[in-house]
Every structure is written in structure tokens, then in C-alpha cells.
């Protein structure tokens, strides 16, 4: 359990807060479920695990719609 809390804390700091982390995870999980290719190589088929590892690896970030 402590490991999961540590990972969440790490991700929150990386993306700038819990709200932004939640938004990024939701968006990326939807993309993965729709068939987007993975950006990291992990054994899990769970899109949540894949999205978390992509954030940890710095492969994805949340971009505001205004910036697009």
C-alpha cells in the first residue's frame, strides 16, 4: 500500500497536482482503450498501469486545449 501512495505522490509532483494527474490519466486511458499504441514496454495489459508507467517515464504530459 505504501508503494502505491509513493507512486501517486511522485506522479502528482511530476504533473503539478492531483487534479492534473487525474485529468491526464483519464485522457490517456481513453486513448489506450481506443487502440492507441503504448509508449512503454510493461507486462501488464491494464491501461491504468500502462498510463501510470508512461507518466513515470516522462512519455506523456497534459497539454491544455488552448496550447493546441
Listed by start position, the domains of the chain span: 2-67
41: Cα separation from own chain's centroid:
14
Residue 55 confidence (pLDDT) above 90: yes
Spatial neighbors of 6 by CB under 8 A, at least 6 apart, are none
Domain 2-67 has CATH 3.30.200: no
Instruction: With a cut of 70, say whether residue 45 has pLDDT above it.
Output: yes
Q: What's the CA angle centered on 18, arms 2 and 47, to 5 degrees?
A: 75
Segment 12-23, tens digit of pLDDT: 999 999 999 999
Nearest to 63 by CA among 16, 18, 7, 8: 16
Q: For the whole model, what pTM was predicted?
A: 0.86
Euclidean distance between CA atoms 66 and 68, whole angstroms: 6
Amino acid at each position: 500500500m505504501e508503494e502505491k501512495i509513493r507512486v501517486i505522490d511522485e506522479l502528482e509532483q511530476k504533473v503539478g497536482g492531483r487534479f492534473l494527474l487525474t485529468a491526464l490519466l483519464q485522457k490517456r486511458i481513453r486513448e489506450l482503450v481506443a487502440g492507441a499504441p503504448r509508449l512503454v514496454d510493461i507486462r501488464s495489459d491494464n491501461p491504468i498501469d500502462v498510463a501510470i508507467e508512461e507518466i513515470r517515464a516522462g512519455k506523456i504530459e497534459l497539454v491544455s486545449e488552448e496550447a493546441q
